[in-house]
Structures are given as C-alpha cells and as structure tokens.
Amino acid sequence: MLTTKCLCTKLRRAARSVTRVYDDALQDVGLTTAQFSLLRHLARLDQPSISSLAQAMGLDRSTLGRNLRPLQAEGLVLLHDGEDQRNRIVALTAAGQERIRQGEQAWDEAQRKVAGQLGEQRRAQLMALLDDLERLG
C-alpha cells in the first residue's frame, strides 16, 4: 500500500479496515455493518420517517433508500406512508428485531477487537477526534 499524508485517504483506509472487522463478525448473521447499524437505529428511533432516519445516521436519503431495499426484501423492515405522501415511515419487523438480537454478540466482539487494538486511552482520544471531524460537515 502506498504511503500518504492525505487525511482523507488515511481516514477512508482506516474506515474500510474497521468495517471489514465488523462485516466479518456479522457474516454468519447475514448482515453487513451498514445494515446492522441501520436496524439498530430503527430500533432506537421507533418508526422514524426516512428523512429523520437519514439525518440520525448522517446519510443522504438516496443512500438510505439503497440500504433499506435489501432489508425490506428480506422482511426485516416495512415502509409505509406517513401523514404526508412525500414522507415514508420505516418500521422494524419482528424478523428485524430477531436479526438484531442474533447480531449483538458478534457486534460486541468486533467492538472489543477494535477497542482492544487501540487501548482505552487511544480509543477515547479517537472518539473525541471523530466527534470533531463529524462537525466539519
């Protein structure tokens, strides 16, 4: 791999490496990191609109829509009309709740693996730095 001093390149490489750890952990559950995260957000938000879910996840609506389609096809989420025809509501199904339950241990193991690689002090520093970077956009 070529060395670089570019922050964007380094962050993207690190994100891909971390995502691989989580994807590998979730493989037996049949979900990707993005899908599992989406399901967990849905569980916490209790039937949000697509717009509010996208905002909570830091995604644009089109990306969220692409991520929802396979989950909807598997019966893990339902989309239905909200009060306004332009606003769709996303609901977690019982099958979606079960898939979250199935993936929790794998997710926690991935969390421990990544955190263990850093150590507690560096993990806390990284979280603070990432918080700062999230505020850029």
62-85 pLDDT, tens digit per residue, is: 999 899 999 999 999 999 887 765
Dist CA 128 CA 5 (whole Å) = 21
Q: 92 forms bridges with which residues in the sheet?
A: 77
pLDDT at 86: 67
| Annotation: CATH topology of 20-104 | Arc Repressor Mutant, subunit A (1.10.10)
Strand ranges in the chain using DSSP code E only, listed in sequence order: 77-81, 88-92
Helices 94-118 and 33-45: crossing angle in degrees, nearest 10, is: 120
Q: Domain ranges in the chain?
A: 20-104
What amino acid is encoded at 105 in this protein?
Q
Residue 26 pLDDT > 80: yes
- The whole-number average pLDDT for the span 107-113 is 96
